[in-house]
Chain A
Amino acid sequence: MHTQKKNQQGEISSLVERVKSGDRESFMTLTRLYQRKVFQLAYSYFRNKEDALDIVQETFLRFYQKAHMFQKGKNFQNWLLQLAKNICIDYYRKHHKRDNELRREENIEEVNQTSHESSHHDPSSDLKEIFSRCLVKLSDKQRMIFVMKHYNHLHYSEIAQILNIALGTVKSLHFKAVRNLRTRMSPYMGRMG
């Protein structure tokens, strides 16, 4: 199992080496292998398909530009997700932060009221909407860690490597993220869940 993983890593490294010298096929192979992983991260961060596809495209473009910085023997997936994470945060700050600041003023209670007024009332979809809004309100780091843990199913150690922070910090931020979501959502749990 360990040897298989090592061989796989070796293959990935040699593909990256070829990309460095401008090999299109190797670039496409790597894109094919990791595009879904990057999409998952971006989609769960933005909850929007178009934004997520923009991120995937930008991530692979950035990978091509920075391929010379990839060190042999390092985990390529973690390195690529690190690029994707940075792009997500920049993209969010550039395109969405202002919208969300405006939405921040909008009370979550409004979701509740609007849904009760509508004739097709689905409590679980309300909770989903409230969850999405609460997720956006977390700090950049807490949100990214939650997304990586919950949707990308990464281990704490992998997240620590991608975000370049201590393992203990990842654990503590993930704990805080889930607790913050629970605190924000708890008034609506009884009513909707």
Chain B
Amino acid sequence: MKDCKKTNRNLVAFLYGELNEFDKKQVEAHLKTCQKCKAELLELKVVYETADSLNADMEKAIESVDWENFPTRIADGVFDQKPTRVRRPRRAGLRPFLLQPRFRLAYAGLLLGIIVGAVVTFLIFRSSPLQVGEDGRIVVPHGFYDKMELEMARRETIDYLDSSEYLLLDFVQSSPEKSVEFWQSDYASRRAIELLSKKKYIDQQLDNIKLVKAKAICDQIELLFFELMQISDELSVEELKKIQRLIQERQLLLKIKLVRKELQKSEV
């Protein structure tokens, strides 16, 4: 059975005399004992002989061609052409490199990106809140200014929370002994004053119902900065330690982070 499989694989090469002596002898020996492979070889021989029988037609066709004059005919066709027909070897430039099939996928992705981008841009512009009225004036839909204000408040609040977080982190991480110096330093006092004035500015916007949580935390921060700025000179190291602990216990920094995340997600 195993021999049959091997012989079968070699039968075509055997028929065409392409086997080495060893394989040829093995096939011959197998064919003496296996009728199935012998029958297979006979069928292959019919194919071989039928293909051979077409040789006669080919010989006839070859004989019917005037081979003596054929080269002259071909040469006339070739040499009578304008010299521009002879192609020069192409210089390897960027073009053949960019036209390689392996870049097809990248080009398809790029094309898809352009199409998606175009569709998205179209949708954005189509749904633009600004519409042109019949008299040519730009008409702003109802509620547009409210939305704009809310969005500005949101951004301002995020900015406020960011700056406050950095300042509080500096305070919490500094040792209680150095925290007095810290609040007396130019950097901290300048930042705290900036933040206190910013808070006054965003107060009106924070009154908006959608920013209630943010308002609560901003108020807490404001109070803390105010207190620290006012009384840090009079506070003992122990009291400053307590404030630091209080900030940590109330997880003020964590709350700032959470509210900021919430604000970032709630883009108008």
Chain A residues within CB distance 8 Å of chain B: 22, 24, 27-28, 31-32, 35-36, 39-40, 43-44, 47, 49, 52-53, 56-57, 60-61, 64-66, 68-69, 124, 127-128, 131-132, 135, 146, 149-151, 155-156, 171, 174-175, 178-179, 181-182, 185-186, 189, 193
Contacts and interface: CB of A to CB of B under 8 A. Distances in A.
Interface of B: 9, 12-13, 15-16, 18, 43-44, 46-48, 50-55, 57-58, 61-62, 64-65, 67, 70-75, 77-79, 85-89
Given A132-B54, A178-B44, A178-B48, 10 more contacts: A27-B75, A35-B67, A35-B70, A36-B62, A47-B57, A57-B74, A69-B89, A128-B53, A131-B47, A175-B12
B74 A131 contact: no
A44 B58 contact: yes
Contacts of B52: 150
Contacts of B62: 36, 39-40, 43
Interface of A is mostly: helix
Given A127-B50, A150-B51, A60 B78 contact: yes
A10 B197 CA distance: 94
B44 A185 contact: no
Contacts of A53: 65
Contacts of A128: 50, 53-54
B64 A61 contact: no
A186 to B, nearest CB: 6
Given A35-B71, A175-B12, A185-B50, A61 B65 contact: no
Contact of B87 (A65, A185, A186): A65
A181 B204 CA distance: 90
Contacts of A61: 74, 77-78
Contact of B58 (A28, A149, A151, A171): A151
10 contacts: A32-B67, A43-B62, A61-B77, A65-B85, A65-B86, A135-B51, A151-B58, A175-B13, A178-B48, A182-B47
A156 B12 CA distance: 12
A22 to B, nearest CB: 8
Given A43-B61, A66-B87, A175-B12, A181 B47 contact: yes
B54 to A, nearest CB: 6
Contacts of B15: 178
